[in-house]
């Protein structure tokens, strides 16, 4: 199919589509125009083309587990359910080094390749505490990739330890930190941050932390929290700043659009975005961020079926919080409470979308291609 065969497409949309089919970068104005005037089918077809050019049929997932050191947080991001907890510390938890090592040891006989460490910002958990955690994990299981700490957590740790970003990052790298997750980015525009997360690190600070990690040879992810009080211009502005930094460092692996969920937080009055908007966001990310290798759908937030759908709108990675010992059937729609999906379920989910499931390491090294593996007892996704 070429752009000229698409019905109901005006000349401006056709010009943008031509750029994309010719492998050219689109401008901010193009991006905004696509957001405002492109139908889901139109931007979806373009995003699908870009994804196919980059990855063919391959859809990645990985086997990881999460550690949340604490759910208490000194900050007060209105969209986050953690922010209420610091005032009610009795409802909050904080894990000791031993407790976190017990979580790591629980996976000793599991073929996981990554631990993802992220939580609230607790004043007692400082740089030295986390460096010790990293050293302990590496001493116990050296090959486990440690992806840890949002720029928000790092900013607090470094400032408290009176270290520069470079010094703090080098210190954690030496202790075993290998890459950074993408959290804390939200929307960079100050007028939006002011409304949703006024007291934490600003956009420039977030970008500086990731830039420093890249300059030290570490890779990282980037997120964007969308579908709350921001507009399309804010989304383009956010992605432009990421695209610019990526041009400079090439250190980002994956962009993860995070759909704002309005349960159990101070923004419950803000409606959630529609499925059409969500899919359009994935598609726009794939089209605009031409220098990002991967676009990921984080299924615990989006829901499995919508994550599956996103594979037709530019997504080529479906994360993979795996716990093969847990039976998903008992969860009955409560994905946000106990996010877990077995390898088999992830593989089925990807195959149902007619894609080739490939297990990857954190840095997208291929661990196993599941395309030829036939499951005899395929679980239903319904």
Position among 82, 107, 171, 206 found at the interface with ligand SF4 (CB under 6 A): 82
CB-nearer residue toward ligand SF4: 38 or 120: 120
DSSP 58-102: EEEE--EEEE-SBS--SS--TT-GGGGGGGGGGG--B--HHHHHH
123-138 burial by CB neighbour count: b if 16+ within 10 A, else e? eebebeebbebbebbb
State yes or no: residue 152 binds ligand SF4 (CB under 6 A): yes
Q: Which of ligand SF4, ligand V47, none does residue 260 bind to, with CB < 5 to 8 Å depending on kind?
A: ligand V47
State yes or no: residue 313 binds ligand V47 (CB under 6 A): no
77 in a labelled binding site: yes
Query: What is the footprint of ligand SF4 within residues 175-214 (CB under 6 A)?
Result: 197, 200
CB-nearer residue toward ligand SF4: 26 or 152: 152
Closest-CA residue to 24 (of 296, 316, 294, 288): 288
Q: Which of ligand V47, ligand SF4, none does residue 348 bind to, with CB < 5 to 8 Å depending on kind?
A: none
State yes or no: residue 221 binds ligand V47 (CB under 6 A): yes
Where does this chain touch ligand SF4 (CB under 6 A) — which range of 22-30, 73-81, 158-166, 303-311? Answer: 73-81
Residue pair 157/197 in contact by the 8 Å Cβ criterion:
no
6 in the Ramachandran plot: left (φ > 0), alpha (ψ -120 to 50) or beta?
A: beta
- Distance CA(215)–CA(223), nearest Å, equals 20
State yes or no: residue 315 binds ligand V47 (CB under 6 A): no
State yes or no: residue 79 binds ligand V47 (CB under 6 A): yes
Where does this chain touch ligand V47 (CB under 6 A) — which range of 36-44, 137-145, 154-162, 180-188? Answer: 180-188
Cα first-last separation, the chain: 32
Q: What is the CA radius of gyration of the chain?
A: 20
Position among 34, 47, 67, 121 found at the interface with ligand SF4 (CB under 6 A): 121
CB-nearer residue toward ligand V47: 133 or 267: 267
**Nearest distance from residue 80's CB to ligand SF4, in Å?**
3
**Nearest distance from residue 177's CB to ligand SF4, in Å?**
18
Q: Is the dihedral of CA 329, 335, 337, 341 positive or negative?
A: positive
Closest-CA residue to 260 (of 227, 221, 237): 227
80 in a labelled binding site: yes
125 in the Ramachandran plot: left (φ > 0), alpha (ψ -120 to 50) or beta?
A: beta
State yes or no: residue 75 binds ligand SF4 (CB under 6 A): yes
Displacement of CA 224 from its chain's centroid (Å):
8
Q: E strand or H helix at 359, and its extent?
A: strand 356-360
Position among 265, 305, 306, 340 found at the interface with ligand V47 (CB under 6 A): 265
* 3-class SS of residue 180: strand
Where does this chain touch ligand SF4 (CB under 6 A) — which range of 24-32, 74-82, 345-353, 372-380? Answer: 74-82
Annotated binding-site residues for [4Fe-4S] cluster read 73, 77, 80
Binding site for ligand V47 (CB under 6 A): 79-80, 150, 181-184, 186, 221, 223, 225, 256, 258, 260-261, 265, 298, 301, 319
Binding site for ligand SF4 (CB under 6 A): 73, 75, 77, 80, 82-83, 120-121, 152, 197, 200
């Amino acid at each position: 199919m070429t752009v000229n065969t698409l019905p109901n497409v005006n000349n401006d949309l056709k010009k943008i589509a031509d750029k994309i089919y010719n492998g050219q970068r689109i401008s901010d104005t193009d991006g905004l125009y696509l957001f405002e005037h492109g139908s889901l089918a139109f931007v979806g077809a373009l995003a699908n083309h870009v994804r196919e050019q980059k990855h063919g049929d391959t859809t990645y997932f990985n086997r990881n587990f999460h550690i949340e050191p604490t759910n208490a947080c000194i900050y007060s991001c209105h969209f986050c359910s953690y922010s209420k907890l610091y005032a009610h510390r009795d409802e909050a938890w904080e894990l000791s080094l031993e407790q976190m090592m017990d979580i790591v040891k629980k996976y000793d006989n599991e073929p996981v390749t990554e631990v993802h460490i992220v939580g609230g910002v607790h004043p007692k958990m400082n740089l030295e505490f986390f460096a010790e955690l990293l050293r302990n994990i590496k001493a116990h299981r050296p090959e486990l990739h440690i992806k840890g700490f949002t720029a928000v957590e790092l900013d607090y740790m470094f400032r408290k330890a009176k270290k520069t970003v470079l010094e703090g990052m080098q210190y954690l790298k030496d202790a075993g930190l290998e890459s950074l997750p993408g959290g804390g980015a939200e929307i960079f525009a100050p007028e939006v941050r002011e409304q949703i997360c006024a007291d934490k690190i600003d956009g420039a600070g977030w970008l500086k932390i990731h830039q420093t990690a890249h300059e030290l040879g570490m890779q990282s992810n980037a997120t964007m929290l969308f579908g709350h009080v921001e507009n399309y211009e804010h989304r383009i502005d956010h992605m432009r700043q990421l695209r610019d930094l990526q041009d400079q460092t090439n250190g980002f692996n994956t962009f993860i659009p995070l759909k704002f969920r309005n349960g159990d937080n101070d923004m419950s009055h803000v409606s959630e975005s529609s499925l059409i908007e969500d899919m359009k966001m994935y598609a726009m990310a794939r089209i605009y961020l031409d220098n990002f290798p991967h676009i990921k759908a984080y299924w615990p937030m989006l829901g499995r079926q919508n994550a599956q759908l996103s594979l037709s709108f530019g997504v080529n990675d479906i994360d993979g919080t795996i716990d093969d010992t847990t039976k998903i059937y008992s969860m009955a729609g409560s994905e946000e409470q106990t996010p877990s999906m077995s390898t088999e379920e992830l593989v089925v989910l990807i195959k149902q979308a007619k894609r080739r499931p490939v297990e990857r390491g954190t840095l997208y090294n291929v661990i196993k291609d599941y395309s030829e593996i036939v499951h005899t007892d395929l679980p239903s996704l319904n």
